[in-house]
Structure 1
């Protein structure tokens, strides 16, 4: 299996993957919006490919952690998608780990997500609110609002209100 940066030639296959992996069009629309934004970092849109089939895709986007007058750039994971026939084979985990590595190389200290509380902790994600991180942009339970530390000790000194990229708003 090849893990690589998504190319323009992959867009149609990724859109198809997203509509197969998720009901509705929200994730496909989100990916399209993020790709069109000036803050989009192409290296943070990653696919797994085998025998010409795009089996998985993950995207990370720039987000903010606002602490009073200070704002820090952090990463947001989402969406993560694997074709239904290839789920539960470790593809998602491979994409998460590669994405975290790339986010760290881009200087992001933390990566945030909304995700399944039984799945993401195995990849270093913990409940964000327990570290003094708030969220007002969306209403979600503590269990699904998670963060992973990319730079050792970042959760000890970075706090405040997390804000996803505006592309996440008004979906659906």
Structure 2
């Protein structure tokens, strides 16, 4: 990532710029229905945002990542959990490490918050570099179960739960 990119906590004043970045990043993809931008607004409106970070270059927002609260039970006990979705970088700046830096910074904040596990539904060749594992996620019943559903323990030394249930924030279920 270039040195002129800074990462900070997103504010309410950033909402429109974040919306534009997400819509541009997901245009022409499998998620081209633009649901990701609406999802961010719904999660925030519901109060389920745990971490929302923006990447800036020269005062202009060029990327965003969101982690939202999840309802997770592991081995019969509640487990503090976060879902990663979405991460977006302005087209033309993708592939330069901005998304990577946003995800790593977000994971650090989750660790500081005491979140134990994070889930993502995404590309199986991209997310394992952060520690996400389809094998760990497969231990959890979820509507999103499958090869693209991955999880990681935020304390790398923590034992993997034997099984459980993982539900994303309610906004995911309302996304049409």
Q: State if a TM-score over 0.5 links the two structures.
A: yes
Q: Which residue of 2 aligns with 1:146?
A: 150
Which structure 1 segments of 5+ residues have no match? Answer: none
**C-alpha distance in 2, partners of 1:125/1:115?**
10
Pair 1:74–1:128, CA change in 2 (3 A): farther
How far apart are 1:151 and its partner, in Å? 1.5
Q: Secondary structure at the match of 1:169?
A: helix
**C-alpha distance in 2, partners of 1:98/1:80?**
12
- 1:1-172 aligned at under 5 Å gives the runs 1-22=5-26, 23-41=32-50, 44-67=51-74, 70-129=77-136, 132-135=139-142, 137-138=143-144, 140-141=145-146, 143-157=147-161, 159-172=163-176
C-alpha RMSD of the superposition: 1.8
Equivalences, count:
167
Q: TM-score, normalised by structure 1?
A: 0.89
**C-alpha distance in 2, partners of 1:101/1:156?**
19
Runs of 4+ aligned structure 1 residues displaced above 6 Å come to: none
Q: TM-score, normalised by structure 2?
A: 0.87
Between stretches 68-77 and 118-127, larger displacement belongs to: 68-77
Which structure 2 segments of 5+ residues have no match? Answer: 27-31
How far apart are 1:68 and its partner, in Å? 6.8
Q: CA contact under 8 A between 2:82 and 2:115: conserved in structure 1?
A: yes
Pair 1:171–1:128, CA change in 2 (3 A): farther
How far apart are 1:171 and its partner, in Å? 1.4
